[in-house]
Amino acid sequence: MDAIALDRVRPRRAAPRWRDDPQALARALLAPAILYIGLLVGFPFLLALYYSVSDATVGARVFHFVGLENFRSAIENPTFWQALRNSIVFTVVSQALVVVLGKAAAMALYRPFRGRALVRFLILLPWVAPISLGAIGWLWIFDPVYSILDWVARALHLIGPDAWPIWLGQPHLAMASVILVNVWRLAPLATVIILAGMSAIPQDIHDAAAIDGAGFWRHLIRINLPLLMPVMLVALLFGVVFTFTDMIVIFVLTRGGPYDTTQVLASLAFFTGVQGGDLAGGAAIALFLFPVLAAVAIGALTLARRAEVV
């Protein structure tokens, strides 16, 4: 009995202090995620930096330091500048269409109607489906012989029998085609993000605007867009990152052709480093993506923070 009484009186071991410290607990909980991101992103980035200042190739076992020679070679290559221009055009035009279409689709899906859940599911399919499978489907749609677009346009008498467009074989049509596929892929993501932002706007604001007699355009410009600006900037940031670093659409549809008119930095780095065997040159080209994306991310997040303050 004395032993049992002493055990009850004996003070319990104090819990670690970090459990009672919110900041320490937050760091402990975030540590696994930060470690995972560091290993997943940081290690390849450091490896690319190491390759870019060496003469690494696929078959070489020993690398030698060459300084900034690979970056100089990339800058002196005319294909690099064409790929950079194509990347900018591909990203800017795609994201302009994605934001406009995403906003329009979100407004159409915001009001309840019969079958809205099914429509939301169908709109989200291009994003959740593997992009490689979707791109292969578009490859059949753009086929120069069996293109469904050409047959429909011919049936509607929009094109003549002699004006048979080759979507992936003509420079301007090829760029328009890959932009169309990229918009088809990313518009659902922007729609979901903007739709979530619209659902977060209090209904009292819409009711007050309706009582004041605000029409559609006034409500859109004076209330809807200002309140959604931070969310739309986040959707734009995601779209820019996905588009500027994407090469799957280009690789499946055009492989950079015709005549490098659809070649982008990501695909050029892949063709140079992996298929061409020049790991150092491909790493140097890929690293040019980093400053552009960093500038875009900083600018978008700064504008989103200012919009939240306003």
pLDDT at 309 (0 to 100): 47
Name which of 260, 251, 93 is nearest 171 in CA terms: 260
Torsion of CA 221, 223, 227, 233, to 10 degrees: -10
What pLDDT tens digit does each residue of the chain (310 aa) get? 455 554 555 555 555 565 667 777 778 888 888 888 888 878 888 888 888 888 888 877 778 888 889 899 989 999 999 999 999 999 999 999 999 999 888 888 888 888 888 888 888 888 888 888 888 889 888 888 888 888 888 888 777 767 778 888 888 889 999 999 999 999 988 998 888 888 888 888 877 877 877 777 887 888 888 888 888 888 888 888 888 888 889 999 998 888 889 999 999 999 998 888 888 989 999 888 888 888 888 887 787 777 664 4
Superfamily of domain 78-309: MetI-like (1.10.3720.10)
pLDDT at 92 (0 to 100): 93
Tokens 């900034």 map to which residue? 68
Within 17-130, residue ranges assigned H as helices are 17-20, 22-37, 43-52, 69-75, 78-110, 116-128
What residues does each domain of the chain span? Answer: 78-309
pTM of the prediction?
A: 0.82
Whether residue 229 contacts residue 307, with contact meaning beta carbons closer than 8 Å, is answered with yes
Residue 84: both structure tokens together: 């950079």
